[in-house]
Every structure is written in structure tokens, then in C-alpha cells.
Amino acid sequence: MKTEHASVCPLDCPDTCSLTVTVEDTRIVAIRGSRANPFTDGVLCAKVPRAFPEFVHGERRLRTPLKRVGAKGEDRFARISWDEALDTIYTRVSAIIAEHGPQAVMPLNYAGPHGLLAGGSMDLRFFHRMGATLLDRGPLCGGIRTEAWLGTFGTAAGIRPEQIAQARLVVAWGNNVTWSNLHITPLIQRVRRAGGKLVVVDPRRIKIAEQADLHLPLRPGTDVVLGWALAAELERRGALDRAFIERWVAGFDEYMALARPWTLARAAETCGLDAADIARFAEWYATLSPAAISVGNGLERNQNGGSGIRAVFALPALAGKFGVAGGGLVNGARYVFSKTPQRLQRPDLVPPGTRTFNIVDAGAHLNDPRLAPPVKAVFIYNHNPLVVHPDQNRMRRGLAREDLFAVGVDVAMTDSMAYCDVVLPACSHFEHDDLFAAYGQHWLQRAEPVIPAQGEALPNTEIFRRLAARFGYTEPCFRATDAELMDDAIDPADPRLGGVRPSRIPTDRALAMTVDGEDAILFKNVFPATPSGKIELVSSYLDKKYRAALPSFRPAAARDPPRGRQGPRPRQRPARAGVERPRRGAAAAEDHRRGAARGRVQPEGRLDAYHRQRTNRLGAGPGHPRRHLRGRLLQRCPRGGRRRRRLSTGARARWPLPSIPTTSS
């Protein structure tokens, strides 16, 4: 018999769609969008209905604890009981702590599930109590934008995305909305149908750029220059809101001293744009209101990323675009929720002086022989570092260390799990309760299990509850139920909950995170939460934390000197899920042995003649089985089909995923 259940998408995506899940017996047979969340309104991306049933029920699903019986990375495991798994972890980790101290243990987790419980609750209590090395996870993705926001506005929320519909000018800056923020797309189209304008700032001719009234394909890493040039041009046109700046902006003079030297011509030269296009953008921004800017994660993937984001955030402050519906910035959504991480994650349990690692450096730390104490045990969960981190080969070397004890927790077998000594089966979010506070919209949602736990899988919360018990952590916080954790995750006294405890929020509708019943609008009912109480273009927060009081610009050439006639050195990009970098020599032979040659090259665009020829010579054209290639992609040009620029990038090949072992104990 088929039944339908409400749920929420847990993926690392700003939209956080509400779902309707069709279950037949105990299997998920269909997933579609639901209207419980008015923002996502029944629409969702293609990957979730297509991939999730296989993820939950497929052959790679982990259903029992496993112990490694082959070499690291060899994918040979034997099934073990939960008791044996917990005993092994306790024995090995306790010995490491006795010899090296608790900081020799490192959690290596990221944003697999975005539920507040699965994402970081009992697990963090466990590591905080242990005194394990802390991990700063933000820098892997989104952290730069968050820091730029905090430094400029503090913990104030920007406008909710639905307000875009009321704008007369929409700017998608480094935000590939049709792929990564798709519910904004129909709002933009509504603006354009009503006569409004769309500006897209993105080095690539992304899909939404085809609809743009103006596409600015700037050079990667030059956003800060464009932001400064726009600020200077707004000033030249007399379009600055002097009264607003006087009352609400800190650091105007210092900021403009950096911006004024960037004339349209100089900025155009640096950004690789037409000066007339920058001028047109400035004119529209000066004359069209409300104007909404949505800043994506694209900027922070480059040199000067944080400075670029700050320069974009400065524009509505300078031009007086805040305080009206549809005006300002569609960012900072996370601050509209009354989250209480101090209660949920218990950072007060962390021993004083505990070190913190930047997640981006995790691979380096795993390979650092001088580290004191060294990392001797790692817990990998909510994460697949082998395919997500920069420098995969370094990460692989680190995880392959024979003296490293690795515990893995995941829903399905991954590349990283294959390097773990003990693998614990986690529930998918369809198998446990959770709360969802989005980072791209203003709706709070709760979900309950729609199917029973598969095999012996357990929710993350229960896995770490059992680990805490095995390690002898007897404080009451380690016995908290999932309902109690939900009540610790969100302030139950928040009036928007209407007296309903977070653990009792209905699952068939989303709760609007309004301000006194109205949409949050910066400078109408929300105000900067910075030390000065103003928008800080000179940021005391960023100065203290990074000595970056003001944005700065470092040309790409300062990092990557030209290589003469060969042209600029291709920029090494951070790894992406499912992407492997080329390897040479013995490593390449190992790749070949492991089946890397079965990967299929998946160019993102058309290869130019040289690389097409080279690709064909290697027998690696699109769809041909082949190893890794470095290709050169042609971007479709913004106007008239003329070639304007090329970006150097790696052609992609899929890395074969380990299979679930058949060996039994």
C-alpha cells in the first residue's frame, strides 16, 4: 500500500524544499515537491527525486557496522555488531588519548545533512566533552560570505527571497540561480515580465545570463574592483544617499578613498569588461528602486573573494536601497532564526586552550609529522573529504596512514569510508526526526521519519549518544532525546512558535520567520547588529579577526605570474564532489588499477579546436571512457555569439565509488 508523508530536503542548498514522499511498504518510491513551504511551493530540483530513493535503498547503502579487513582504501570490510564497533572505537581512541591527549582526535565533518540535529548536536557535545581538536568548518564553503556579512551587518537578517518579486532591478552576483538557488528564478522572471531589469555578474555565461538585460562576465577575482568602480560612479553621478550614510554607515570616507581611484576605464581594464556596461549598471542601480542583490558563493571561490562580497554589500548602503520591500540584499537568512547553538552543541564543555583547525588544512595536518600532538584518530561523518577537499592526493595520503585510526559514519559507502577502520551505518534524514532552519529563506520546518531505519542504521544523534555512554560521559546532556535536542536547537520562547515547542512544530506546514508579523526588512524592522550599530564598511569585527578592516584587491598576477608565451598558468581549483585531479606515475597506475579509466569525461562546455583534437587523440571525447584530462572550455559569449573569453579548467571524470563489501566475519 502506498502512503504519502511530509518531509524536507536536507541537502546543502539555500532553498530547503518541503517534500512529499511516497512510501510503498517500507520503501521510498517517489519524491515530489510539496506546498508546505510557500517559498519552494511544490517545485524542487531534478536530482532529489531521481537520486534519493537509490541513495536510501541502493546497493551502496550501509546497513550494519563494518570493520576494515583489507588495506586502507581497498574496500574490503567485514560485518560486525554494534557492540564490537563501539568497543573497538573506545579501546583504540582511549589508547590514543592516553598517549597523546584528546587533541590527537579530530572530527572531520561537514554539511552532509542540514538538519539541526544530524548536522551538529550530540556529535559536537561528544567531541567537546572529549576535548578533541576543534574544526572550523566555514572556510570549506560559505564561510567567507558569512564572515563578510557578519563584519558588515552583524547578525541582522537580509530580505527574504520572495521579496525579489517587488524589485524593479534584480542583481544575481556570483549566484547561478537556475542551478543552485532555483526558486529565485521564477521571481526574477516575474520582475522582468513586469518591466524590471536583471543584471547578472558572473564570469560564465550561466543560464540565467541568457535572460539578463545586462551580463557582466568579469574576470574571476575582480568583483571588488567592480564594486569599487560602481561606488565611485554612483558618487560621480550624485547618486549616493548622503543622509542615510551620515546616520547609518561607518567608514564611508576610508571606503571611498579606496573606491575613487577606480575609474570606469581602469576598472573595465582590470575586470575585462566594457566601461559602458559598468556605467549602465551604475545608472540602473542609481535610478531603479527597489533594487535587490543576491550574492552567491561564486565570489568566494577566488582570490579577493571576501573583499568582493564586502564591496557588493556596500552598494545598497551607499545608494540608500534599504528599508523598502524588495530592496537591499537577499542574504543573511540564517539570522532570522532563533537558533541556540550554545544549548544544542554545548561549547562550554570544550576544555580551555583546545586548538582549532581550519577544515581546508585538514589534509595538511593529517600529513604533518611535526604536529604536536599529531592527529592519530579521525571521525569522518556528514562529509566525504576525499572528493570534496582541495588537494585530494594529500588527503588520500593522510587517510591512508597506517598509524591513523579512522572512524566513518555515513548513509552510504563513499571513497572516504573506504579508508576507515570502523564504519558505522547512519540513518538517512527520511529515517529520523529533525528541524530545518534554512540559510537561503525564512521558513522553519520540522520533519519526522517516513520509513523505518534501514537495517541496523541509527540516527547520528543515537550513534553519538551510544559513543558518549561507551566513553563514560554520564552528564545528563548525553542522554537527551531527539525531542529534547530539538527544543535545545531553537529558542522555545520565540513568539513566532506561538507557544509550540520546536519538537512539536507541525510537519505539514512551514513556520514563517517574520519580525512582528512582517517580512524582515533591513532598516525597517531589522537593524545592524555590529559593534557600532551601523553598517561597517570599515569592519571592527573583520579587523580584529583577520586584520581586514577594509576590503583589498590583490591582482591575480601577484599570485600566479604569467608563463610567457604559454599564457597564464591554469588555476588549480578546489576539488568538487565526483571529481578527481590527474595523477601521474605510480599514482596514475594505481588509479588505473582501481578502475579510474572507466570514468567518463564530462566537459561542461564545448572544447576548443586544440583541446578537441587533443581529446580525440587521447580517445577521450565526450562519452568515451577515459582518464582525466585538462580541457579548455569555451564560454558562450554574452552578446551575439562572439567568442569573448576562455576559462581554463579541468575536464571532469567520475571516480568509481567503492562497493559495499561482501566479506562477512
Could you say which of 15, 223, 233, 277 contacts ligand SF4 (CB under 6 A)?
Answer: 15
Closer residue to ligand SF4 in complex, CB, 20/530: 20
The Cα 428–Cα 27 span in angstroms is 13
The Cα 216–Cα 103 span in angstroms is 47
Region for residue 601 given its phi and psi (left: phi exceeds 0; alpha: psi -120 to 50; beta: otherwise): beta
Asked if 16 is part of the footprint of ligand SF4 (rule: CB under 6 A), the reply reads yes
Could you say which of 45, 198, 399, 423 contacts ligand SF4 (CB under 6 A)?
Answer: 45
Assigned C-alpha cell, 439 = 540559510
Find the shortest distance in angstroms from Cβ 44 to ligand SF4: 4
The Cα 155–Cα 621 span in angstroms is 49
Query: Nearest to residue 424, comparing CAs of 34, 109, 98?
Result: 109
Closer residue to ligand SF4 in complex, CB, 436/655: 436
Size of the site for ligand SF4 (CB under 6 A): 10
Find the shortest distance in angstroms from Cβ 245 to ligand SF4: 37
Q: How far is CA 535 from CA 148, 470, 531, 532, in A?
A: 12, 49, 10, 8
Of residues 112 through 131, those in contact with ligand SF4 by CB under 6 A are none
Residue 578: exposure state from Cβ atoms within 10 A (0-12, 13-18, ≥19): middle
Give the range of 5-13, 190-198, 219-227, 461-469 binding ligand SF4 by CB under 6 A: 5-13
Closer residue to ligand SF4 in complex, CB, 162/591: 162
Closer residue to ligand SF4 in complex, CB, 11/97: 11
Closer residue to ligand SF4 in complex, CB, 15/433: 15
What's the DSSP call for residue 378?
A: E
Asked if 444 is part of the footprint of ligand SF4 (rule: CB under 6 A), the reply reads no
Find the shortest distance in angstroms from Cβ 598 to ligand SF4: 27
Closer residue to ligand SF4 in complex, CB, 429/432: 429
Give the range of 40-48, 260-268, 407-415, 591-599 binding ligand SF4 by CB under 6 A: 40-48
Q: How far is CA 625 from CA 337, 652, 656, in A?
A: 47, 12, 12
CA 263 centroid distance within chain = 34
Output helix, strand, coil percentages for the chain, rounded to the nearest 5: 40, 15, 45
Could you say which of 21, 28, 36, 44 contacts ligand SF4 (CB under 6 A)?
Answer: 44
Could you say which of 5, 7, 11, 282 contacts ligand SF4 (CB under 6 A)?
Answer: 11
The Cα 596–Cα 5 span in angstroms is 40
What's the DSSP call for residue 422?
A: E
Question: Would you list the DSSP string of 476-535?
Answer: GGGG--HHHHHHHHB-TT-GGGTT--GGG--SSSPEE--BTTB---BTTTB--BSTTSSE
Find the shortest distance in angstroms from Cβ 41 to ligand SF4: 11
Assigned C-alpha cell, 88 = 573497538
Closer residue to ligand SF4 in complex, CB, 8/395: 8
Find the shortest distance in angstroms from Cβ 411 to ligand SF4: 15
> Which parts of 37-81 fold into alpha helices (H)?
47-57
Of residues 497 through 556, those in contact with ligand SF4 by CB under 6 A are none
The Cα 162–Cα 39 span in angstroms is 7
Of residues 161 through 200, those in contact with ligand SF4 by CB under 6 A are 182
Contacts of residue 500, defined as CB under 8 A and 6 or more positions apart, other chains included, come to: 506
Find the shortest distance in angstroms from Cβ 644 to ligand SF4: 30
Query: Buried b vs exposed e over 358-371: b needs ≥16 C-beta within 10 Å?
Result: ebbebbbbbbeeeb
Find the shortest distance in angstroms from Cβ 574 to ligand SF4: 20
- Residues β-bridged to residue 27: 24
CA gyration radius for the chain?
A: 25
Closer residue to ligand SF4 in complex, CB, 41/74: 41
Find the shortest distance in angstroms from Cβ 438 to ligand SF4: 8
Give the range of 7-15, 20-28, 315-323, 365-373 binding ligand SF4 by CB under 6 A: 7-15
Could you say which of 5, 6, 7, 17 contacts ligand SF4 (CB under 6 A)?
Answer: 17
Find the shortest distance in angstroms from Cβ 12 to ligand SF4: 8
Find the shortest distance in angstroms from Cβ 8 to ligand SF4: 8
CA 417 centroid distance within chain = 21
Q: Are 167 and 196 within 8 A, CB to CB? A: yes
Find the shortest distance in angstroms from Cβ 13 to ligand SF4: 3
Closer residue to ligand SF4 in complex, CB, 182/319: 182
Determine the angle formed by the axes of helices 305-319 and 223-236, rounding to 10 degrees: 20
Asked if 18 is part of the footprint of ligand SF4 (rule: CB under 6 A), the reply reads no
One-letter amino acid at 31 equals: I
Q: Are 623 and 598 within 8 A, CB to CB? A: no
Query: Nearest to residue 445, comparing CAs of 28, 95, 117, 103?
Result: 117
Give the range of 43-51, 77-85, 126-134, 462-470 binding ligand SF4 by CB under 6 A: 43-51
Find the shortest distance in angstroms from Cβ 15 to ligand SF4: 4
Find the shortest distance in angstroms from Cβ 384 to ligand SF4: 16
Give the range of 44-52, 84-92, 122-130, 374-382 binding ligand SF4 by CB under 6 A: 44-52
Q: Which residue in this structure is represented by grid cell 552567491?
A: 296
Asked if 48 is part of the footprint of ligand SF4 (rule: CB under 6 A), the reply reads yes
Give the range of 10-18, 357-365, 399-407, 628-636 binding ligand SF4 by CB under 6 A: 10-18
Residue 247: exposure state from Cβ atoms within 10 A (0-12, 13-18, ≥19): exposed
Residue 614, SS3 per DSSP:
helix
Asked if 9 is part of the footprint of ligand SF4 (rule: CB under 6 A), the reply reads yes
Assigned C-alpha cell, 644 = 569573448
Closer residue to ligand SF4 in complex, CB, 118/653: 118
Give the range of 9-17, 147-155, 380-388, 406-414 binding ligand SF4 by CB under 6 A: 9-17
Find the shortest distance in angstroms from Cβ 202 to ligand SF4: 19
Closer residue to ligand SF4 in complex, CB, 330/620: 330
Find the shortest distance in angstroms from Cβ 5 to ligand SF4: 16
Asked if 56 is part of the footprint of ligand SF4 (rule: CB under 6 A), the reply reads no
**Where do contacts with ligand SF4 occur on this chain (CB under 6 A)?**
9, 11, 13, 15-17, 44-45, 48, 182
